[in-house]
Amino acid sequence: MGDKTCDSATLTVDGHTVSLPMMTGSEGERAVDIRHLRRETGVITYDPGFANTGDCTSDITYIDGEHGVLRYRGYDVEDLADHCEFVEVAYLLVHGSLPNAQQKAEYSRLLNLHSLIHEDMVHFFAHYPDRAHPMAVLSAMVVSLSSFYPELGENRREDIDMTVTRLLSKLRTIAAFSYKKSLGEPIVYPRHDMKYCENFLNMMFNSPVVKDPVNPVLADALNQLLILHADHEQNCSSSVVRAVGSADANLYASISAGICALWGPLHGGANQHVIEMLQDIRANGGKVDRAIERAKNRDDSFRLMGFGHRVYKSYDPRARVAKKICKSVMAALNRQDPLLDIAQELEAKALADPYFQERNLYPNVDFYTGLTYRQMGIPTDMLTVMFAIGRLPGWIAQWLELRSEGEPKIARPRQIYTGPGLRTVVPIEERP
């Protein structure tokens, strides 16, 4: 196979040798280009879960899983979380550079312009059962946006900004309205005098009779958490958004599919399951050893939720920042949370355990984020909705990048067939 210096790899199949070109990314990662493999050898590759397979080149996000590095358009995620607003990072992901003051002001104007949803959509909420999962509502409402706002424009910058800010603003509004409806409370409309995160918390927790000022500690923490979630290269939901977009489906349909993929407990749904796991541990006397032993038992389907990652074989940099945010919010609000104590004990014991060490299992983005959202009052079943609000600009940037390369190539993996050979239909009365 190719070494660092050579620009091709050699493969011999059934005595026939082919030379396959090598690709090298801007940070030095290497790939064997197998685009012509089947034509030249008659065989395909086999890689369930695509752990060894890239399906695109991308300029958006870089992850070094061995060293715990995450950069959006070249900026380290912690640098962005410390110095930017989520809206600036959304602009960066979509446009490739941070906005100047004028571009940011225009983005904020468009976010306000698009912050409402069509009043006919507001009635949709009344017909969901109270126990409807917020991710089900979110996905359905987003694909319904395509009925109310069918125009997506072309790929001109002003069309892109209109489409992006419309989705960013309306997703936040849909999430808050859905929560209010689940409580049976009147919805709180967005306000043009509030910034993105403050507006969301106001819509979520104020009401026609409660006009409390939004706590700036929580608004700032939300801003940082949304930045931590904003993109993560070709994760499951981003791959789904690209796959649906590759069929020439519209952006709303693609994002709605991404929301459904994110809902999975192995993916973004893990943040809800982390809190439920910590609550279970607390309800059973707070003994973390039992959870550790269950996670190690191959006969037990239990997994340590918020631990492990396909790419990070070191500490997820987002988990490190999320833990810091959680502890600073607790200190600022002078609060304690027994679930944080349990989470830290669980982390310490897992990281000291050979089972987790041998498999390079560390806390991932979902391990600490829910604990901070709890301090904001976000209900557990809405935690993955918060992940979706943060990930939206990343999904959009990935979809736009796929579409910017001309006619997208439809995503259509091959397979190795292992089913029965040819069979002939027997009349039903003769079947055993």
Binding residues vs ligand SDX (CB under 6 A): 49, 232, 235, 266-268, 270, 295, 303-311, 359, 361, 364-366
CB closest to ligand SDX, residue no: 308
Order of all β-strands in the sheet with 69-72: 61-64, 69-72, 75-76
Task: Determine whether 366 is an active site residue.
Answer: yes
Residue 298 has a CB neighbour count (10 Å cut-off) of 5
Which residue has tokens 């409806």?
181
Between 223 and 271, CB nearer to ligand SDX: 271
Q: Which is nearer to ligand SDX, 170 or 229 (CB)?
A: 229
Least separation in angstroms between residue 301's CB and ligand SDX is: 10
**Choice between 13 and 266, CB closer to ligand SDX:** 266
> What's the gap between Cα 431 and its chain centre?
49
User: What is the smallest separation between the CB atom of 384 and ligand SDX, expressed in angstroms?
Assistant: 10
Report, in Å, the least distance between residue 367 CB and ligand SDX: 7
Burial (Cβ within 10 Å: 0-12, 13-18, ≥19) of residue 129 = exposed
- Minimum distance of ligand SDX from residue 359's CB (angstroms): 4
DSSP-derived letter for residue 73 is: T
121 vs 241, beta carbon nearer ligand SDX: 241
Q: Which of 161, 231, 316, 366 is catalytic?
A: 366
Are 146 and 254 within 8 A, CB to CB? no
Of the candidates 114, 133, 309, 316, the residue annotated as catalytic is 309
Residue pair 185/179 in contact (Cβ under 8 Å)? The answer is no
Cα 229 from Cα 53, distance rounded (Å): 23
The distance of closest approach from Cβ of residue 16 to ligand SDX in the complex, given in angstroms and rounded to an integer, is 33
User: What sign does the CA torsion over 49, 53, 58, 61 have?
Assistant: positive
Q: Could you confirm whether 79 is annotated as catalytic?
A: no
SS3 13: strand
- Closer to ligand SDX by CB, 16 or 359: give it: 359
Catalytic residues: 309, 366
